[in-house]
Amino acid sequence: MSLAGRSLSTLCDLSTDELKSILDLAARVKKSPKDYRKSLKQKTLAMIFQKPSLRTRVSFETGMTQMGGHAIYLAPTDISLGKRETTEDISLVLSRYADIIMARVFGHDIIEEMAKHATVPVINGLSDYAHPCQMLADLQTVQERRGAMKGLKFVYSGDGNNVAHSIMFGGALVGMHVVIVTPPGYEPKECALSKSREMASKTGGSIEVTNDLASAAGGADVLYTDVWASMGQEDDAERRKQFFMPYQVNMDVLKMAKSDCVVLHCLPAHYNEEITYDVTRSKNSAIFDQAENRMHAQKALMLKLAGAA
């Protein structure tokens, strides 16, 4: 299934079959990396970062290198998007040098503008609205642990942020029953909720939003959480704790879920805030498999967008 030349702004850009084709390729890439070591030979990935990163930078750069290509890291001081030069011009110039552009930014409008003007594929490495590459890795990890994903109960506890939005989109595409649990006032954006419900109606999945973690965690196949204050919200972190502490994923919450429940966290983790250390080291935890799978899933995505697979 060809995705050559396409961009990935959110998982809404994909059909169910296209998403599954990426996950299938990710599994093959992970199993036999040597088969793909020349697949992107002499290809260049331009990586734009407004936000610092561990997993995004290393997974993309390593993945590109392992497939014979080259990645260029462009720090916030290298490119002042929309300040020193317009996003449109940056997109057009990088399209003359690179084969793929990946951007980790604050505003989602930047991703949309880059995808509009670039003549090569643009990958959303994270924006304030969506984190599609993270969800590709999440789905790969769930598939490895549980096999078929359709019908699984996927429970997320935390802020209704970009990660929550991507869980809703990805879960809807594969027919999972997604439950987003947040403190009152921190629910996902209504536009993301309505879009994901529309998608879920076509796959037999469902999207629910609640403020009751104890009820939601019962029978969960997957328990997922994220930091309570995302990058750029540090000044609000202490205030948020009072509202989010009842939504911590701890051993009591894990016991409410199924015995083989998969625990996920996109990292970095603030132990004993959104999740306790013992949960992350339990037999249910797959957080480091999940982190590793960022590289495999993104390798598959780049292969698809570059027309190399």
Q: How far apart are the first and last CA of the chain?
A: 9
Our answer to whether residue 84 is catalytic in this structure is no
Three-state secondary-structure class, residue 263:
strand
- Which residue in 143, 177, 266, 296 is the catalytic one? 266
Amino acid identity, position 304: K
Our answer to whether residue 191 is catalytic in this structure is no
- Which residue in 55, 57, 131, 296 is the catalytic one? 131
Our answer to whether residue 226 is catalytic in this structure is yes
Our answer to whether residue 104 is catalytic in this structure is yes
Residue with tokens 């997604």: 178
Amino acid identity, position 283: K
Residues 163/231, Cβ–Cβ less than 8 Å: no
Q: In sequence order, what are the residues at sequence separation of 6 or more whose Cβ sits closer than 8 angstroms to the Cβ of residue 170?
A: 11, 19, 132, 135, 136, 138, 139
Q: What distance in Å separates the CA atoms of residue 95 and residue 226, rounded to the nearest whole number?
A: 34
- What is the phi/psi pair of residue 306, to 5°? -80, -5
- What is the phi/psi pair of residue 273, to 5°? -110, -95
- Which residue in 57, 108, 294, 296 is the catalytic one? 294
- Which residue in 108, 145, 226, 298 is the catalytic one? 226
Amino acid identity, position 126: L
Residues 55/291, Cβ–Cβ less than 8 Å: yes
- Which residue in 50, 128, 133, 134 is the catalytic one? 134
- Which residue in 55, 57, 99, 104 is the catalytic one? 104
Tell me the catalytic residues.
104, 131, 134, 226, 266, 294
